[in-house]
Homo-oligomer: A and B are copies of this chain.
Amino acid sequence: MEVSKSEWSTMEEKIAQEAFKIAYEREIEALIGEVRDRSSSIAQINDLWNLHDFLSARRHDIDGKYDYQESALIFVFARLLKEGWLKIDELDGLSADKRTKIAALSRM
């Protein structure tokens, strides 16, 4: 299965960018909620540094994941599907070929 050399039409790019944005906003909203929860139960220094480690890891992860590059989109969408930040029907409008690849990769 060749996944990295897909061509993206202008319409597909638009759909991809929108889906990207939706997933990003969902993930950030969930993260904000989680940070608020964790913060409310901080009782000692270790909890603080655990929160710091958690934020460092999430920031690194999110910065990397949402770096929009067309060549990596199939993989990123598969990951977003797998992680639950996106649903396959939010990629409607992409070619059937792309959606099949994304769905297949998301189950790996």
- Residues of chain A at the chain B interface (Cβ within 8 Å): 28, 31-32, 35-36, 38-40, 42-45, 47-49, 51-52, 55-56, 59
Contact = CB atoms under 8 A, between A and B. Distances in A.
Contacts of A45: 28
Q: Which applies to chain A's interface (DSSP): helix, strand, loop or mixed?
A: helix
Contact of A42 (B36, B44, B49, B51): B36
A36 B35 contact: no
Contact of A55 (B40, B43, B55): B55
Contact of A48 (B35, B47, B49): B35
Contacts of A38: 39
Contacts of A31: 48
